[in-house]
Structure 1
Amino acid sequence: MEQLGFDFGVEPRPLIKVTPARLSIYDDCPRRYRMTYLDRPAPMRTGPWAHNTLGAVVHNAMRELFGLPSGERTPERAAKLVSRHWRGAGFADAVQVARYAEAARRWVADYVEEHGADADVVGLERWVSATVGSDPASPSLIVEGRADRIDRRDAELVVVDYKTGRRAPEDSDARRSQALALYAVAAGRTLRAPCSRVELHHLPSGTVAVAEHTDESLSEHVRRAEETATASRTATDRLTEGGDPDQLFPARPAPRCAWCELRPSCPDGRQAAPAARPWDLLVPTT
């Protein structure tokens, strides 16, 4: 006997897997997205940037520090961890290397003194993931990524992101951050606890920028992520079908082209702004 089945003539929509970094790069410049994730062989890039080196060192030190029992998270230990992870790539010279190594040791030590180190940490560079969409009944995205730190405060989770850039963030920056919002959604799903608070911890200044999300504000970030993810996948599909790469992934020239790592491979970027030196984006030290 013939087996009965249902065929409504509608193919299920495949989920799009994204990270906050991929979404941000596409929003900033589709050409940079294509060069970063799609072009093969990989385009020529600049050398290392000192601010990236500095950020990586501080992140590594903070990860190791908060992996210790709270009683061992001392200012002295924090400073020693900076020395352990220190690298000098991208700096102007040995004098600048020494100055920023000392500054970074002071930042992390001051952070422990000012903010304490007794956080109840449930995730360090924790990989979190969630299936989401603007229509909860028909999710379209798998959002995933690695959060710097996830704390438990009372019964709720808090997403913490470290910053070492030139400008101290404000609460509005934390509220506007799509990455933090998506990490909050994914952390809540992965660790099965409410998560609405996100924080930017700026180590050079000791500033903590805070946002308390609502269901509505998180849903708005998800909706925007869905729009970006759909646009990037549509462009990628058309590129695979033989479409023009420069039309599908146009450059968006801006002052940031001065320090884009793909500048050597992007004529539009080179015309948009003079090249920055590898150390120009370092936060000033006193």
Structure 2
Amino acid sequence: MLPDVATEDLSAARRPALSPSRAGDFKQCPLLYRFRAIDKLPETPSPAQVRGTVVHAVLEQLFGLPREERLPERATDLVAPTWARLLEEQPELAGVFAEDAGWLDSAGKLLAGYFELEDPRRLEPEACELLVETELPSGVLLRGYIDRLDVAPTGEIRVVDYKTGAAPREVGEAKALFQMKFYALALWRLRGVVPRQLRLMYLADRQSLAYTPDEAELTRFERTLDAIWQAILRAGKTGDFRPNRSRLCDWCSHQAHCPEFGGTPPEYPGWPEPDAGEESLVDRAD
């Protein structure tokens, strides 16, 4: 019988990486990056984020079913047991919907929106919730999770990302596109093929946005990620992660620790080992 290997031992071998969410945090506010990636300050997820986690998990399970069973009513039936399993893993989420007894119905409406956008019986994805990890020539390690990867018989790749919020305005759309370019770059470096299409599916609005990247654009984006990572490393050496006040501060969970709001950050613990790039389930639900 093989000996058990502790999860901690496996994770300790992982190098610090850059994920779409953490790169976005640093672009938005270096101090927010520090709070999330280094200090790992606790955050209470919003009902919308938890609902998104459940919907993503249901869609992943849906594609694990035989084609003929991928029906709206089957997806709806998966919501309650998926929520029950999530509560087993994270019992602290129990209070998120304490005052919203009908939230399961709202998750069902998002799934109904998905079925208006496509028929899953006609699809056979290569993977769902796919972890991609690759090292750029500069040495930056990219790591992220792709909601769904479709590969045509001809080898063409489509990256699909489910969004459980409404279709965004300009700032939100740029953030979503940044995330998709991150995945496209990782896949290009891993497989040598530029994805044919990046598809964002906004389930609440029943809208689908498609984007076609090219090599030149992904090369420029690679330089952007290199620059972000170098800036993170410079800040990491000294702990100088400066706040960047903006309208997005209104939604930040860490104002009590932020100098912009009269707070004091925790004592800097130093650059984290092993990993400053991990994404949570809430990050991936988006």
**TM-score, scaled to structure 2:** 0.73
* Alpha-carbon distance between aligned partners in 2 of 1:166 and 1:265, rounded to the nearest angstrom: 30
Is 1:249 matched with 2:252?
no
For 2:32, the equivalent position in structure 1 comes to 32
Gaps of 5+ in 1: 1-14, 133-137, 240-244, 272-286
1:140 aligned partner: 139
Contact 1:129 1:186 survives alignment (8 Å): yes
Equivalent residue for 2:126?
122
CA distance in 2, matches of 1:160, 1:139: 27
Q: Counterpart of 1:256 in structure 2: which amino acid?
A: L
Percent identity reads 27
Post-superposition offset of 1:192: 5.7
| Shift in Å, 1:167 | 3.5
**Whole-Å Cα distance in 2 between the matches of residues 66 and 269 of structure 1?**
46
**Structure 1 residues 253, 53: closer, same or farther in 2, change over 3 A?**
same
Change (3 A) 1:107 1:169: farther
Q: Residues 123 and 191 of structure 1: is their aligned pair in 2 closer, same or farther, counting only changes over 3 Å?
A: farther
Q: How many Å separate the matches in 2 of 1:64 and 1:229?
A: 34
Query: Larger strand proportion, structure 1 or 2?
Result: 1
| Residues 27-176 of structure 1 mapped to structure 2, 5 A cutoff | 27-39=27-39, 42-43=40-41, 45-86=42-83, 89-91=95-97, 93=99, 96-98=100-102, 100-117=103-120, 118-132=122-136, 138-153=137-152, 154-168=154-168, 173=173
Higher RCO (Cα < 8 Å, 6 or more apart): 2
Secondary structure of 1:17's match?
A: coil
Report the residue type matching 2:21 in the other structure: A
Contact 1:46 1:263 in 2 (8 A): no
What one-letter code is carried by the residue in structure 2 that aligns with 1:108?
L
**Structure 1: distance between partners of 2:147 and 2:109:** 20
**RMSD after superposition:** 2.7
Give the superposition deviation at 1:265: 2.3
Task: Give unmatched runs, 5+ long, in structure 2.
Answer: 1-14, 88-93, 264-286
Q: Deviations over 1:216-243 (max 9, x none)?
A: 1111211111111110011102x2xxxx
TM-score with structure 1 setting the length = 0.73
Instruction: Give the number of equivalent residue pairs.
Output: 237
Q: Which whole-Å CA distance do the structure 2 matches of 1:217 and 1:194 have between them?
A: 10
8 Å contact 1:20–1:145 — kept in the other structure? yes
AA matched with 2:254:
L
Q: Deviations over 1:145-192 (max 9, x none)?
A: 11111111342111111111243578x937972221121122244456
- Could you list the per-position Cα deviations for residues 85-111 of structure 1 after superposition, in whole angstroms to 9, with x for gaps in the alignment? 237643471xx340x321221221342
Separation (CA, whole Å) in 2 of partners of 1:233 and 1:257: 24
What SS does the corresponding residue of 2:186 show, helix, strand or coil? helix
Contact 2:117 2:207 in 1 (8 A): no
